[in-house]
Structure 1
């Protein structure tokens, strides 16, 4: 069976979008009450789960940790999807407006915009403040869309979507999770599955036609994303907000936490397999992923 063309893949995804898409503003009951005894993130996926700090917390403190980690995850996602949208807009400036690839790129842009609204409403509903990105990082983040072209755009999209998607799948059916959070996760999982398929297809086709030197460079710098991702998911702001006296020490405890590293490995497994498949798992990147706990 021959490989589908980019337009054929895009057409399939467009049909999926017609059959199953959401408008979170109306498809989620934002007035539904929160359960004071339920978590916002599955306990076993929390960064401090099982550590000495965790064992010293009572249930109320653990739930508050989950609230703040949930808000940190959504705040990071808003920034990420903002950057992806800017990249998609720049991408379609240079593509054929008649093509299905352009049409699906615009469809994904609409999905991501609605997700940003959904995440903002969820942060407000759970009664927390968003986690702000420091000014210096905002300057850098604002420059990233200028460089998101070709394989870079699809790689950036995949790196931000794939690991988070797997984490959400681990949490979505957990009976200890707030029903509102479960609904947000399910909407995001369904629509992100199409975005991940689109990004992977774009990467496969571009890597196959890429000069060997460029593929080698990409394969050996992708591991740097793991460091950024780990820092984002162990943000000291979270630990300061729940009242821990030394947020930096809590971050170090989270990074060394074998329970959390197991969660990371499970979340990264699918992407690691994909990188191996397309020849983008370089030796340097593999060493970085292993060092931070994403690979055995």
Structure 2
């Protein structure tokens, strides 16, 4: 098979995947403005996330907290995760718009990219309203993360962009699959998680296919550089998911909470388990290099 013929096959496969995703989106998508119960007042008897996903679950501090404090902490942490999700979804949208700028609008992949961007816009509004309903402030990533994100969204392309998108979505997906099934979690958050899981499954499929497609023919140096870039992006995302201000807003001693959360082996194990499938994919794609693996280990993702 000649190189031009191989290129045609790859493009056709890509288009087929995009068409399937477009069909799936047309059959099963949600409007959070109508699907989520925004009107019922927040019931403080519920958690904001599965308690096992709290950064303090399994620590001595968690055992010292009252049930009311535990529930308030999980609500604040869920809001922080949502705000981090908004931040990264805005990066994602800009990378995809830049990637498909001035390309063929009749290409199903182009149309899927716009569909995914539309999904992310709805998700960001949904997360914002959800965080507000949880009684949380506008949590933001640390300033250094914001500036790194500004650079990443401007320069990341190809497999680096799509693998980073996949990393962020995979970590959230495993968490939210637990939360949406947990009857201890406040019902409107469960609905938000269900919507996000259903629609993000299509986004992850596209990100995996694009990552593999962009890596075809990539040389060793390019793989090494992009593997490290994706790992650093993952580290920044994960370490900014829970703002330390959540502890103050839950009425806790911030210094003790940060110290015990940082040493919490249970939470580290939860993160590692959530990323098992992701790491397997990155390894198969040649993006789990030795330097990248060290970064993932530092982020407790492997």
Does residue 264 of structure 1 match 2:271? yes
Partner of 1:132: 140
Asked if structure 2 preserves the Cα contact closer than 8 Å seen for 1:6 and 1:101, the reply is yes
Matched residue count: 293
Does residue 89 of structure 1 match 2:106? no
Distance 1:237 1:270 in 2: 31
Does residue 103 of structure 1 match 2:111? yes
Asked if structure 2 preserves the Cα contact closer than 8 Å seen for 1:234 and 1:255, the reply is no
Residue segments in structure 2 that go unaligned for 5+ positions in a row: 1-8
Does residue 40 of structure 1 match 2:48? yes
Asked if structure 1 preserves the Cα contact closer than 8 Å seen for 2:160 and 2:227, the reply is no
Partner of 1:224: 232
Distance 1:140 1:261 in 2: 24
Distance 2:298 2:153 in 1: 29
Greater displacement, 191-200 / 88-97 = 88-97
- The runs of at least 4 aligned residues of structure 1 exceeding 3 Å deviation read 133-140
Greater displacement, 284-293 / 32-41 = 284-293
Q: 1:163 to 1:72 in 2, by over 3 A?
A: same
Does residue 254 of structure 1 match 2:261? yes
Distance 2:97 2:231 in 1: 26
TM, length-normalised to structure 1: 0.93
* Residue aligned with 1:222, SS: helix
TM, length-normalised to structure 2: 0.91
Report the aligned-residue RMSD.
Answer: 1.8
The CA deviation string for residues 59-104 of structure 1, in whole angstroms up to 9 with x for no partner, is 0100110011011001101111111111121122142111001000
TM superposition shift of 1:105: 0.2
Specify which of 179, 189, 195 is matched with residue 187 of structure 1. 195
Distance 2:175 2:187 in 1: 17
